[in-house]
Amino acid sequence: MTTLALAGLGWAMRAVWQIRLATAGEPASGLPDQGEGNHRPLTSLEDSYHLVSSASGFAAAVCAIAFLVWMGRVRHNGRELSGARPRYAGLWVYLGWVVPVVNFWFPRGIIADAYRSSAPGEPLPLSLNVWWGMWLISMLTGVGLTYADSTDEIIARAYTDVWQLLASDAAVIAAAVAGIFLVRAVTAVQERRMN
C-alpha cells in the first residue's frame, strides 16, 4: 500500500509541475527539443520537471514490483484457501501486463479470481473495478504510465495541451488510490479466512 501511495504522490507532483510549466508558458527560446538533434539548455523549471519525472518513474517501478509480488501472493493464497486450481496460470501474473490484448483483462481477472477463491459468494470489492477502470483510462490515453514520449516531449505538451496530461495524471492517481483500497480489501478477506 505504501508503494501505491508513493506512486500516486509521484504522479501528483508531476501534475503540479505540468501546471507550473503551462502557467509559465513556453520560453522565448522555444521548446527544449528544437528538432534535428538540437536541444537548448533547460530552464530551471524544466530541469526540476526532469527530476520530478525521474523520481515518479522510480516510485512507479518500485510500486509495480511490489504489486506483482502481492498479486502472486494473493493468487497463491486463493488457491490454498479454496483448494481449487486458479483460472489463470501463475505466469500470467507477470505476462498479463505486457501481452497485447490480454493485458486489458487478465490482471483484473487474476485478482478477481483470487478474491472469489478466498471469499466464495461475496461480491467483488468496488475498488477492483474502479482501480481497473482508472488503470485502463490511463493506459488508453497514451500519456499515462505507458506513454512513449520523452520528458522533453512531455514538457512541450505541457506548454500546449496540459489538459491531456492532467486527465491522464488524474486517472493514474485515482488508480493508485483505488489500488490501496483494493489491496486492503483482498488482503483483509484472505487474512480473515486464514484465521
How confident is the model at residue 147, as a pLDDT? Answer: 59
Range of the domain at 116: 2-25+42-194
Please choose, from the candidates 104, 66, 72, the residue with its C-alpha nearest in 3D space to the C-alpha of residue 89: 72
Yes or no: say if 66 and 55 are a contact pair by the CB < 8 Å rule.
Answer: no
111-134 pLDDT per residue, tens: 999 999 999 989 999 999 999 999
Report if residue 18 sits inside a domain: yes
Q: How far apart are CA 81 and CA 75, in angstroms?
A: 10
Q: How far apart are CA 49 and CA 22, in angstroms?
A: 12
pTM over 0.85: yes
Report if residue 130 sits inside a domain: yes
pLDDT at 24 over 80: yes
Please choose, from the candidates 32, 38, 68, 67, the residue with its C-alpha nearest in 3D space to the C-alpha of residue 53: 32
Q: How confident is the model at residue 110 (pLDDT cuts 50, 70, 90)?
A: very high
How confident is the model at residue 36, as a pLDDT? Answer: 79
Report if residue 17 sits inside a domain: yes
30-77 pLDDT per residue, tens: 788 777 777 888 889 999 999 999 999 999 999 999 999 999 999 999
Report if residue 95 sits inside a domain: yes
Report if residue 74 sits inside a domain: yes
Report if residue 34 sits inside a domain: no
The domain tally of the chain equals 1
Angle at 83 between CA 82 and CA 88, to 5 degrees: 85
Report if residue 33 sits inside a domain: no
Q: What percent of the chain has pLDDT over 70?
A: 96
Report if residue 36 sits inside a domain: no
